Chains A and B, each alone.
Chain A
Amino acid sequence: MAHPQHAAARRGRSLASREALQGFVFVSPWILGFLLFTAGPMLFSLYASFTNYDITSQMAWIGFKNYDTMLNHDPLFWKSLRNTLYFVAISVPLQTVAGMLLAVILNRRMLGIRLFRTVFYLPSVLSGVGVYVLWMMLLSPSAGLVNLALSWLGIDGPAWLTDPAWTKNAIILMKLWGAGSMMLLYLASLQGVPNKLYEAAELDGAGRLRKFWHVTLPMITPVIFFEIVTGFIGGFQIFQEGYVMGYGNDPGAPMNSLLFYNLHMFLKAFKVFDMGYAMAMAWFLFLIVLLLTLINLTLSRFWVHYEGGEQ
């Protein structure tokens, strides 16, 4: 097989460079895939955000016009950004706490605990339009179960999805239902807390709360941190809820209270084919999320505890 010339060339190379070459050959499918299917489209979308690209008929350079329209002339842009920020700001902390509490409750030995864990995790497996339609029924002001339950407590429940003051809260409430997916990670990290720490704390006379506060919580901070970062990133991507649950089948209705950032972007891209504008919105969102993640990472130094000591 070996051609004499090739054989000579091979002999000329050092072991290290041969190994490096082989390494690159082995990772090349991933690198090629990344360049072709991730980096390529990203660069294209960055370029397109400076054009009037509409997918099929035109693509002319228009400079910062899309960004200018976005920031200065599109009231729905700000509305959708505010909606999304509101959702993220309330939903992410709430979900983090709910997932953790759920995990703490379900982290004990008792009869049927596996069943309970499964039941609480189950909603995370279900997703999509079916669940939203189900929740639209549950949240119905007069016939829905949520307001029925509230009425037993003597509370006159709000018109969840009809009243713009309540729609986002309704979505946040609905999202709590899926806290089970977070619960699973917390559960795993709770089980990883070494028992000897608890024993040591007990010897020092620590009670239940104190043990949780001084042993459990610090030990699971890496998971909390992970959940917060991914929660933020995921939260900014909220889309379907506003699309499906908009009052009267209007995306984002009533009064655009459910017009989330990504929904506005989607409507611009695929309903009116203003793809250049949508790309500009996408990059702006990328910057926001990047910035927030960097802030999160910086702050994490002050409160996240890694078992192996300072990193």
Chain B
Amino acid sequence: MSFKHLKKVFQLTAVASLVSLLAACSGGTSGGPAAAQADAAANSGSGSSVSPEGRVVLDYWTWWGSETRRPIIEKLVDDFNKSQDKIFVKHSYYPYSDIFTKELAAVSAGNPPDIMMNDINTVQQRASKNQAMNLSKYVERDKVQDRFFPELWNTVLYNGDPYALPFNTDTRMMFYNKDDFKEAGLDPDKFPDTWDELEQAAQKLDKKHGNTYTRIGYSPQFNSDWNLLQLNFDGGRNFFDESGKPVVNAPAKAEAMQYILDNAKRLGQKNIDAFKADFGSQQANPFLSGRVSIWTDVTNFYTQIRDYGDGINFGVAPLPETKEGAGHWSVGGGFVIEIPYGAKHPDEAWEFLKYMTDVEAQTYWAEKNFDNVANKEASNSSELMSNPVYKASVENLAHTKLTPNPLNAPDYMNLINPQRDAIMLGQTSIQDGLNKAQADVEKLVSGK
């Protein structure tokens, strides 16, 4: 075979592999694992001035590949690598849509990454199915448990043993436009305390041009919905009671739905849908563009206001309560850092877990991302607390509930959501819909 011929074969092979790469992209739900792999390969150990030679190399998977987040996570990894000479952590990025299935496949193949970021609400599920490693011997040795908010710590326990360390969390709050409040004759420094007061204030904030709304004060359907309100109305209780029994059709949950329907009746569901359809992100966010006066979001929405809000005069407040003293309950989520089951270097990986949840790394993460972090001390650092929004978010954690998936009914929301939709669409009454959802979930839990 002549050299020229050989070159041609190489070119063809290169084109063929590129085509298959593209095909993989379009076939997947988004970026595609193939693309991510190439990306990860190109970036392995990137930004690091230290070399992995002679050290234990750990593979650390996250989905933090955005321009904002990637440098932050890689700075933390780099600092860790510089700090010691036995372990070298390599950060691999995979898109959010692929990373969990990919991890699952890797765990079942017995070749998992060493460290993994994962969802806080499903730790118990993974623990019960041998997908994450039991960390109790490390936790007992190093006594790290007191670092964390107890509510978050509880989510990582399965049969009393920890299977992950909490990393970050969030909480939903009310962002409101103070100028709109002034204009409507409302006190800009006082956000409505109860849901009824909120509805009254919202009416004053609405603005109409002819028959169409140019501004809607508030709708519980904007970036929020019954799944959030039902917990707030029900004293912080989600769809299961203390004993694990489903309580989908509890009276408070029906009241929350009634509140949403009343609001929709007043504004017109069509108007709400029209607004929702136009929502975008960044500058096109309806709160930032002045089309909505009160907006429910997690607290790092603050970074969007800061970056795209054009000096908007805003306030932040907890969700209202049903009546005085009922509680401003909110919902939070978040992520944990864990060692997948079957990882080859758990001792070394644990060192990294400890480092990532320690005060320094957590403070850095909180400052840069404006995320609520799991470490209490970092969360309460004076520098962060000097920002009123951050301070409010940390205070809000006190009445924020996490909603881990119950082990015996991990996909219960698939049964509740369709009934919620049916009620919202007026195809069934509130009580009938919730009773049906209750029956469906009970059936799922009983396993029949």
Report A's interface with B, CB cutoff 8 A. Answer: 54-58, 73, 75-76, 127-129, 140-144, 159, 162-164, 240, 243-244, 247-248, 250, 252-256, 267-268, 270-273
Contacts and interface: CB of A to CB of B under 8 A. Distances in A.
Given A127-B26, A255-B421, A272-B411, A142 B129 contact: no
Contacts of A140: 277-278
A75 B417 CA distance: 14
Contacts of B71: none
A267 B417 CA distance: 15
B129 A55 contact: yes
B225 A248 contact: yes
A141 B108 CA distance: 44
A250 B225 CA distance: 12
Nearest to B225: A248
Interface of B: 25-30, 100-101, 104, 107-108, 125, 128-131, 225, 270, 273-274, 277-278, 341, 410-411, 414-415, 417-418, 421-422, 425, 427, 440, 443, 448
Nearest to A54: B129
Given A127-B26, A128-B30, A164-B425, A56 B277 contact: no
A128 B418 contact: no
B411 A267 contact: yes
A247 B421 contact: yes
A20 to B, nearest CB: 30
Given A129-B29, A244-B29, A250 B277 contact: no
Contacts of A162: 273
Contacts of B414: 76, 252, 256, 267
A56 B129 contact: yes
Given A56-B107, A73-B448, A144-B277, 11 more contacts: A57-B128, A57-B129, A73-B443, A128-B27, A129-B29, A142-B274, A143-B274, A163-B425, A164-B421, A253-B418, A271-B411
Nearest to B280: A137
A144 B341 CA distance: 47
The 10 A-B pairs of least Cβ separation, nearest first, read A142-B274, A140-B277, A57-B130, A254-B421, A255-B421, A57-B129, A272-B410, A255-B418, A127-B26, A128-B26
Contacts of B417: 250, 253
B29 A143 contact: no
A252 B125 CA distance: 23
Contacts of B128: 57
Contacts of B341: 56
B41 to A, nearest CB: 22
Contact of B273 (A159, A240, A253): A159
